[in-house]
Chain A
Amino acid sequence: MSAHRMTGGAGRATVATPILHVDMDAFYASVEVIKDESLAGRPVIVGGQGGRGVVTSASYEARAFGVSSAMPMVRARRLCPHAIYLPNDFAAYTDFSIRIREVFTAFSPLVEPLSLDEAFLDVGGSVRLFGPPPEIAGQIRRRIAGLGLRCTVGVASNKFLAKLASTLAKPDGLLVVPPDGIEEFLLPLPVRALWGVGEQTAESLRRLGLKTVEDLVRIPRRTLERAVGDALGAHLFALARGIDDRPVRPGEPAKSVGSEETYTYDLDSDADVLREVLRLSDRTAGRLRAKGLCGRTVTLKIRWANFTTITRAKTLPSAIDATQDINDAARALYLKLNPQRPRIRLLGVSVASLGPGPPPGQLDLLGGSRNVRRDAASAVDSIRARFGDDAVGPAALLDRSD
């Protein structure tokens, strides 16, 4: 952890709550509203449109009907049949994500993105320029509002407390946990609020009569370690006291870009697998181009029904960013495995050995198929930017029931 936060380095004021957790509110749904203003104030639900699609984002108008993220689309449609249903448009979300990140980096170089719509900031070194952290949080919220989006910010002495604060302040909120307010903030919370406590751990603790953070603070460390194991016990002992010394790590450039999916029903035919490989290749290609990258190594990840996971990779002579090129490689990797009776839970396609895109175009002597692919890819991107991810794609992905 940086010294100035603990002790106040020479020439620097001690900042008690330098950590911000910024979480966008209903991010994908809000981007959709920016794209189409007529959706403002209406329930908007974004997610996969297929039979097994899940909700990736719901506007607060839709949440009022009980719709939430990760819920199967089918259930959302029952709860809120009159909502506007839209496909994921990752190119647009990535675009806004980049603009949001620009807001963050204007206030501090120490930004750790957690996903497209969530990040930690350490503003300990920025207070002379921008004022105390709660004020910086307010400025960030105003700048984000200027983009047409809303967010919730948690401000605290460490990442754990900051993230907890933003969770509790949602939506469109700002919550500061001052050092002398940690106990008041933390003790009444259920143990489930602690990072690392899942259903099983909560149940182990409940059997000991430990329901709230306050209960945890009252028992000796040894008891806690016996109840949930040494490592988790020590971890919870610290968190219950509001202690978390993980530093904010500025995002490193992506090492690979990819997409994977777990299937509700195991894929059990080559035709199904290859169709999904194409779908994932297409999504990966879109993400690569959205990030302005291209790469030479294509990796196929397979988790079989028995949960063993394998990866196979192929490095190509030149960098690629087009669906067809990624699919060619991923497909060849699958066919080389030649599984006799495939039963696949999870498939992933990713591209590594990244460099800045678009790939310098080695031109093709023979009718220029690759050059044509390049042009097709740009056209696909612009159509998707306007009409959504499902507006255009490989014909093999068309659902025959449509």
Chain B
Amino acid sequence: MKFRCERDDLLEAVQFATRAISNRATLPVLSGLRIEAGGNGTVGVAATDLELTMETAFQAGIDEPGKVVVPGRLFGEIARSLGSGGVTLASGDAEVEIESGRGQFRVKVLSPEDYPALPVEDDAVAGHRARVTVDGAALATALSQVIRSASPDESRQVLTGVVWELEESRLTLAATDSYRLSVATLDVEGELGEGVKVIVPARALQELGRALQGAPGAVKVLVRENLVTFFLSNGDEGSGRAESVITSRFIEGEFPNYKRLLPEGYPNILSVDREALLGVVKRVGLLAQNNLPVKLSLGDELEVSAHTPDVGEGQETIEASYEGEPFVIAFNPQFLHDGASAIRSDQVTMEAGDGLKPAIFKGDDPAGFTYLLMPVRLS
């Protein structure tokens, strides 16, 4: 294998793919980065931890097609430290040679035979369950709204993922750590098959969200038997980058029936300015330590208060409009802040039943995003 390319193209591709490498690689070869120069003038870079696979490609002048597996972290460091300009990569028997300017590196390679076969990259593959296209910017927003509700607790695997449900031209994303539930809905186009409901690990979606920040074009989503693949077009025509692909396995198991958790609605409805709510929760929340809640006294104004024994207390009132009976409901301040910050409009409405029922938070577009938060029972 031998090719010449721009250092910036190489670096961008390597940095993208390296994110799939796990810190706790189960097989030594999984710490590697697979670089493949094809006959069509593109170089593919891929890495996987067997759950998550990230692949991308860039244009290069290929002298000799071939493939090589390089140690991922070291290769990434080298690519980053090179100056801008041309880079030549050539593989020998057990080494790869990197030449840039007057610098020369020889790095031992890993055996390409040991490298696992990556999921099929052809989106026309037979046997898919659905194939749809989503607007990249809308998907990035929905992901950022939903992912934070996924649980970090590995002992309840299904809750560490985000459920993807495709139904009637709508894609619904939902995640819950059992204390709060985030649900976002967006439009899709394409073949939905018989409808799909799969759980995608939050880690893969964090990478997808990150990748979408640089390339917010349309995203093609291909759902197969036990894998989902996202195809991202790398926007700029001028750049040497071609399509990037993120593939993830599903999390096996039954996701809770989140639709049943969503209440029909409650008679007590509070409407507040989002920025004002975020500010007051942040300030008063400083006095809600040791997992103690902030208390919301619902009335013509919203009074937020917190008290931590031996530490102190805080209280602040903000303007609000309220319909319903005055009562007190308490929340984990971080969860409350997460919900309000996920809402993308100036006003936030909260519907609440009583101090023991989940409260519903929404913005101006009630169909777009819903945040359901369980209160903290006061002792």
Interface residues of A (CB under 8 A from B): 296, 317-319, 328, 332, 353, 355-356, 358-366, 371
- Kindly identify which residue among B179, B292, B293 contacts A365, using a CB–CB cutoff of 8 Å: B179
A361–B355 CA distance with the chains assembled, in angstroms? 11
Contacts of B179 on A, CB cut-off 8 Å? Answer: 362-365
How many Å from the CB of B332 to the closest CB on chain A? 6
The chain B residue sitting closest to A358, CB to CB, is B379
- Within 8 Å by CB of B379, from A296, A353, A361, A371, lies A361
Q: How far is the CA of A27 from the CA of B356 in the complex (A)?
A: 43
Task: Say how far A51's CB is from chain B's closest CB, in angstroms.
Answer: 33
List, in ascending order, chain A residues with CB within 8 A of B23's CB: none
Inside 8 A of A358's CB, which chain B residues have their CB?
379
Interface residues, chain B, CB within 8 Å of chain A?
155, 176, 178-181, 256, 261, 290-293, 309, 330, 332, 356, 358, 372, 374-379
Contact for B155 among A332, A359, A363, CB less than 8 A:
A332
23 contacting pairs across A/B (C-beta < 8 A): A296-B290, A296-B291, A319-B290, A319-B291, A355-B290, A355-B292, A355-B309, A360-B292, A360-B293, A361-B379, A362-B179, A362-B377, A363-B179, A363-B356, A363-B358, A363-B376, A365-B176, A365-B178, A365-B358, A365-B372, A366-B178, A366-B261, A371-B377
Bound state CA distance, A359 and B290, in angstroms?
Answer: 10
Contact between B178 and A360 (Cβ–Cβ < 8 Å)?
no
Complex: chain B residue closest to A296, CB-CB: B291
For the complex, give the distance between the alpha carbons of A318 and B293 in Å.
11
**Chain A residues with Cβ under 8 A from B178's Cβ?**
364-366
Q: Which residue of A lies closest to B178 (CB)?
A: A366
Q: Name which residue of chain B comes closest to A319, CB basis.
A: B291
Task: Report the bound CA distance from A363 to B330 in whole Å.
Answer: 11
**Across-interface contacts of B180 in A (CB, < 8 A):** 365
Q: Which residue of B lies closest to A364 (CB)?
A: B178
Contact residues in B for A332 (Cβ distance below 8 Å): 155
Q: Contact partner of A356 among B261, B309, B376, CB < 8 A?
A: B309
Q: Give A311 to B363 CA distance when docked, in angstroms.
A: 47
5 closest A-B pairs by beta carbon, nearest first, are A361-B377, A363-B374, A355-B290, A318-B291, A366-B178
The answer to whether B378 touches A365 (Cβ under 8 A) is no
Contact, CB under 8 Å: B261 / A360: no
Q: Which residues of A sit under 8 angstroms from B375, Cβ to Cβ?
A: 363
Distance A371 CA – B178 CA, assembled complex (angstroms):
12
Q: When the two chains form their complex, are residues B291 and A363 in contact, meaning their CB atoms are under 8 A apart?
A: no
- Contact of A366 with B377 in the complex, beta carbons under 8 Å: no
Which of chain B's residues have a CB closer than 8 A to the CB of A356?
Answer: 309
Collect the chain A residues with CB atoms within 8 Å of residue B155's CB: 328, 332
Count chain A CB atoms within 10 A of each CB in B179, B293, B330, B332 and give the residue with the most: B179
The residue from B256, B292, B356, B379 contacting A366, defined by CB atoms under 8 A apart: B256
Complex CA distance for A49 and B273, rounded to whole angstroms: 62
Q: Are B377 and A363 in contact (CB under 8 A)?
A: yes
Assess the B291–A361 pair: CB atoms within 8 A: no
Q: Are B291 and A366 in contact, with the CB atoms below 8 A?
A: no
Nearest CB in chain A: distance from B311 CB, A: 10
A328 to B180, CA, bound (A): 21
